[in-house]
Every structure is written in C-alpha cells, then in structure tokens.
Structure 1
Amino acid sequence: MTTAPATITGIDAYLDAAARCGGSVAPLLEALRATPPGSLLPLPGSGRTAERFRGLARVAAVDVTAARVIEPHLDAVAILAEADAPEPEHGTTWGVFAAEAPGDALLACREQDRWVLRGRKPWCSLAGRLTSALVTASTPEGGRRMFAVSMGAPGVTVEAAQWVARGLAEVVSGPVAFDHSPARPVGGDGWYLDRPGFRWGAIGVAACWWGGCLPIVDALIARARKRPDDTILAARAGELYRRLDAGRLALDDAAARIDEHEVPDPAVLAHAVRGTVADAVAATLDAAREVLGPAALAFDEGLARRCADLELYVSQYHRGRDDASLAGHLAGGLLAW
C-alpha cells in the first residue's frame, strides 16, 4: 500500500536526507537548517491541509525517525504563524516542549521589561541539538502560556537523559533546566491549548503514524501474493489494507473540514482521527510480529527499526484516556449524516 504521487517540492531535500539517514538525526537537522521553514509544507487551515498531511505521511513512509524530527519543527512554524509572530529564521531548528510531569514545574515571570523562565521542563525531545524551542510555562496569574526560547540562551541547561529506547534511538527526550532564561511570549494565557491549531497539530502526528505503516503493509501484501493459497495471510493483508484506508479517509476528511472551517469541536475531530489511525498502527505492528515473524524483525534492519520507531511514536496515544476525553466533548447530533 503506497502513497499516491504528490507534487511537494519544498520538502524534497528533506526526503533525500530521510532516505539516507538510517535513523540518525544529524542529516535530518542539517536538511532543516538548509531549508527556509516556510517552504517545507503548507500551514494547516491554509487551503492545502491535505498536502501537509500527505507530506508528513510521505516522510514517515521513508523513515519514521525523520517524521519524528520534522513534525515538531513544522508544528512550531505553524504555531508562530497563528500567533502572528515572526517566522523562524532560516538556519534554525525548532522543538515544541509542552509536556508536564509530577515534580517538574516551569515558571514564567517578568523581570523589569522582559520575561524569564525558571524551573525544569520534562520530555524535551532533541533539546541538546536544536537551536530554538516553544515552551509552555505557568504564569503568575496561574495560567499556562507559550514562550519562544533560544536553546543557547543564558541559564538553559540540557540535562542528561536516561534514554534507553530502541525505537527513535537518537530522538533523545529529557529534561531541560531554566535559570532566569530570557523568553519571548507567544500568545496569551491559555492560547496554546485553546486554539484549534493545537488539535490540527495532533492530527499531523497521526498522519506520521499512518505513513510509518505503509512499508510494513506493503511487505505483508507482497508476502500474500507469493502465497496465494494461504487464505489466513491474505485475510490479514486485506484487513490491514482496510484499516489503513479508513485512516487515510479520516485524515483526508479532516483536512477538508479544517480548510473549510467547518469543525464544531476540534477536539472531537482530532480524537476520532487519532484513534482511528492508532488502531490501524496497532494492527499493523501485531501483523508484523505474527505474520512476518522473528526472522524479519531479527534480520531485516530497516523493518526492525521501523517497527521499533513506530511502536514508541504511537505510544504518545493513550487509548483509554483519549477516548474518555473524546466522550467528554460529545453532544447529540455529532454523528448525524
């Protein structure tokens, strides 16, 4: 199951880097530094959201690590555009650090005529290798606000991470400490989470998950063709195609609705799309283990790494908690057709 040909030009250099990266982030970051941020993929809601989602899926189909690196960079570009903030400078690489964890707190406060950050932020992916980041912090009013920071600014310390993951091995996520580090506010209190674009970014991640499945499904379909008498194998290949096609339709429908600005509740759309795609990913990884088996996972380096990368990436989705959140947004009539 392969993606349809796409006419995406700004991302071609990054796709070349993805094809040769072998799971290493160095060539990927080099490609991002060499490409003007606004030329990579269209912004969500720009009338070309389907192209954005297809582009993310296309990157992940080449290499899942490459998708994991570019997606937050593109999300940062979109967030800054939504806030009417200056576009990231050419040569910069960006992350979005918005996770929270018990025991870690990041506070923003005013000192004279500037904002500074104090405290610790967990789960900062690639923090030691990026030039810049968008970071959420608590404000004196008790709200949560986003700030742009330079990772080389005074008081910014990337702490050592106990990163032992076999998937996304070089996309190290660890804590960053801030000690009166200068920061520039992006939007007001609550803006980051309340805006529809927060949900569009979450759907973009699902597009990456979807694209990461494609080579695995292609391998299963190829094996089924070689064994026409194996009806169990054929059934599994057919099931996966059906699940992935449902995910594609969900992503395509979401892109159209985003561009038409016809989304009554962005959270409902995002949860539904992400859940549909995550279910397809789980079925794909199960089939890789059960059908392709230990030989493929032990001796096919590309397939083994892809499965490990994809399994860690999709673990961002928490089925029970996210479905419960979805239920909290539901109201009568949303399923009317």
Structure 2
Amino acid sequence: MDYDASLAVRAPAGDSEHGRFDFAALLQGYMLPLDAQSLAGAARRLVAACPSLPQPGGGHTLARWQFLAGLAAHDLSLVKIYEAHADALAIHAELAAPRMPRDSAACGTAPEIWGVWAARSPRNELRFTSSRSGHVLLSGVKPWCSGAAFVTHALVTCVDSDDRDWLAALPIGQPGVTVTARGWEAVGMAATQSVEIDVQNAHATLVGPGGAYLRRPGFWHGGAGMAACWYGAAAALAVRLREAARRRDDPHLNAHLGAADVALSAARALLREAAHAIDAAPEADAMALALRVRAAVESAVEVTLHACTRGLGAGPLCRNRWFARMAADLPVFVRQSHAEHDLAALAKHASTNEDWSL
C-alpha cells in the first residue's frame, strides 16, 4: 500500500469524540484508495463504528465538519457515502420524522446505510399519484445514486400528481427497485458507482411536508458541510507538497507550497467562521453563508491541485496510487458545486446585504 496514513490530515481534536476519530485504525486492512468492491465493506465498518455525527446547528457543527474533513483526507469515495448517511439522519431529525423500521431480511446484521438522492431525472422523475397516511408507491428513474449497489435506504426527492416536491424514504432492497449500470462513466469517484436506479411501484414513506427538503435551514448547513469534505482532501494533498518541500529546498516548489498555504488557510478560517455562525443562529437563512464557503473552498481546491501537480510533477500522479486517485477524484467531487450559477446567486445577496468592513 503506497498510501502513508501518517501524512494524512487527521481531524483536529474538537469538542466531541468525533474530532479524535482514528481513521487509520478503522481502515486497517484496506488498501487505499478504496475500489468499488472494498468501499461497501469499509462503509459498513465506518457506520457501525460511528453511526451518526453531531446535528448541524446543534453546537458542534465544527466537530462534525472536522470528522468529514479527516475522513476525506483518507478516501473521497468513502466520505461521499458517509456524508450522505450522516446527512440523511440529520434530515430525519430536523423534520422530526421517524426512520423507517429496520428490514432484517434486507439488512441482516449489517448496519443501515442511508443515501440522499436529490438529483432529478430529466426524462422520468420519481412520482406518486396518491398517499395513504404518508405511504406511497414510487415509480420513475433516479440518477446520480451514489452507493446504490450497497446502501440499504435512501431519502429521495419525488413529485406528486400536481408536480409538487416531496421527500420520501425508500428501502432499496425491495421488489420494484432496480440498480442499473447506467449513467456513471467517470474515472474520478469511480468507486461510488453513482448510477441510475429504476423504480416501479416501490413502497416508500413521505418525510416531512411538501417542499420541506429545500425550505429547511439544514439544507444549506449540509451544503456548507460538503465543502469540509473538499477541504480535507485538498489539505491531504498539500501535506504531500509540504513533505517534498522539507526534503528539497527548491524556490519554485516553495512558492507552490506558499500558494497552497494561503488558499487553504483562508478556506479553513471561513469554514470555522461558518460553523460558529450556524451554531449561533441555527434557524437563520444560511444560503449566502453556504454559497460563500463552498466557493472559497472550491477556489482553494483549484489552487492546491495546481500547486501540487506543478510542484511535484508527474511522479506521484503516475507512481503513487493514492495521490493519483485523489487528484482524479477531487475535481469530480467538487463539481457538486454549481460554479458560476452559485456565484451569481451569491451576488444577488452581496449587492444589497453584505458589509465587507473589517
């Protein structure tokens, strides 16, 4: 295994047990980066060891993000799966919705692993025509379903006969849910197998009132938390750059390390500020805050990737399995950002509300 866990960015000691989690010990025996076959087992082991994280806005948001950043420093496919699981539990808690009863036949003794699949199918969105006490039958196609081959349940967006938006809890291992091989050709994040699923008259339970998924404050808390994953991966790559600079006194290498340091330090400061702001006002509209922190971290990722590939050259990209996969995975993961669309949305807020005084 060419991945050196001692060089990874560990989650800093926070105000809860999650800041001190030993990912290296948990992942012992796995070769990093994880492939599609090993990702399922690693995800089950992680969820069993740490079933949930502190609720966003509950006073320990930074500890939640530190955990995610520390996990991302080891493997991006694993944090993609675990972040969705933790987000699903946070959504259930925020909407005061009970989780579905455990299906022992489907899950056996393995832990439940939840996904959150909110992308719309351009041709056949999940739809239901009637609801009995919140129980519905879903039919349609859901794209971008990360971990579909092994997650046990998912929160999925869907629409009713009047095209109103809803959120539903869908057990995956039931008749009527088919995991396809369509829709995922990426080299980066290949292990997640974020394919399409076909759904035909599958049983699901509505979660919260109509439109609640997007209206709740936690929607933007989760969006900001995703940036912690991006940050953790970029910081782990920068550690390799720093180690090279310690071994070799090269002015160009040092300049690249300096650029990464500036970008990551600024992103880290904004992540910490955002976490404290969310905890101080958990019911406030956090859209602008989330868009700003995501854009700042995305910029830091771009600077860090540029610095690492220019400063380190082809060697780690071609000869170090972990580095090469991280460098391929991270640009795909970051494209969960909506780029200029998000910047334009942020500009509308900044044009009337933002005070930039120091």
- TM surpasses 0.5: yes
Matched, 1:108 2:128: yes
Structure-2 change in CA distance of 1:291 and 1:200 (3 Å):
same
1:16 to 19, 25, 30: 25
Given the superposition, is the C-alpha separation of residues 14 and 3 from structure 1 closer, same or farther in structure 2, using an over 3 Å criterion? closer
Given residue 131 of structure 1, which amino acid in structure 2 is its aligned partner?
A: T
What amino acid sits opposite 1:260 in the alignment?
A
Decide whether the 8 Å contact of 1:125 with 1:173 is kept in 2.
yes
Q: Is the 8 A contact 1:116 1:180 kept in 2?
A: yes
Runs (5+) with no aligned partner, structure 1: none
2:53 to 41, 44, 57: 41
Relative to structure 1, the CA distance from residue 78 to residue 21 in structure 2 (aligned partners, 3 Å threshold; closer, same or farther) is farther
Question: For residue 231 of structure 1, what is the aligned residue in structure 2?
Answer: 251
Instruction: Quote the RMSD (CA, aligned, Å).
Output: 2.3
Q: Which amino acid aligns with 2:98?
A: P
Give 1:240's aligned amino acid: A
Distance (whole Å) between structure 1 residues aligned to residue 158 and residue 282 of structure 2: 31
- Deviation string, structure 1 residues 160-201 (Cα, Å, up to 9, x no partner): 225332222210011111111111111111110111111111
Which residue in 1 is equivalent to 2:319? 299
2:106 matched residue in structure 1 = none
Residues 1:200 and 2:221 aligned together:
yes
Deviations 1:279-305 (A, max 9, x none): 011111112221211111000111111
Q: Label 1:110 to 1:246 Cα distance change in 2 as closer, same or farther (>3 A).
A: same
CA distance in 1, matches of 2:94, 2:282: 18
Amino acid at match of 1:172: Q
Measured in 2, the distance between the counterparts of 1:257 and 1:110 equals 40
Q: CA deviation at 1:318?
A: 2.8
Q: Return closer, same or farther for 1:5/1:307 CA change in 2, 3 Å cut-off.
A: same
Equivalent residue, structure 2, for 1:77: 89
Greater CA drift, 1-10 or 124-133: 1-10
Change (3 A) 1:231 1:160: same
Q: 1:57 matched to which residue of 2?
A: 69
Identity %: 37
Does structure 1 residue 6 correspond to structure 2 residue 13?
Answer: yes
Structure 2 gaps of 5+ residues are 1-7, 103-109
CA distance 1:116–1:250, change in 2 (3 Å): same
Q: TM-score, normalised by structure 2?
A: 0.86
Q: Distance in 1 between matches of 2:151 and 2:138?
A: 18
SS at match of 1:110: coil
Q: Cα gap change, 1:100/1:15 in structure 2, threshold over 3 Å: closer, same or farther? A: farther
Aligned length, in residue pairs: 334
Q: Which residue of 1 aligns with 2:5?
A: none
Change in CA separation of 1:156 and 1:236 when aligned onto 2, cut-off 3 Å:
same
- Residue 353 of structure 2 aligns to a residue in which SS? coil
Which ranges of 4 or more aligned residues in structure 1 deviate by more than 6 Å?
Answer: none
> How many Å apart are 1:264 and its aligned residue?
5.1
Give 1:258-269 correspondences, 5 Å limit.
Answer: 258-261=278-281, 265-269=285-289
- 1:27 matched to 2:36: no
Q: Which amino acid aligns with 1:122?
A: P
- Structure 2 counterpart of 1:158, from 179, 203, 206: 179
Q: Which residue is 2:155 aligned to?
A: 134
Q: Secondary structure at the match of 1:129?
A: coil
**164-173 vs 177-186, greater mean Cα deviation:** 164-173
For the pair 1:86 / 2:134, whether they are aligned, the reply is no
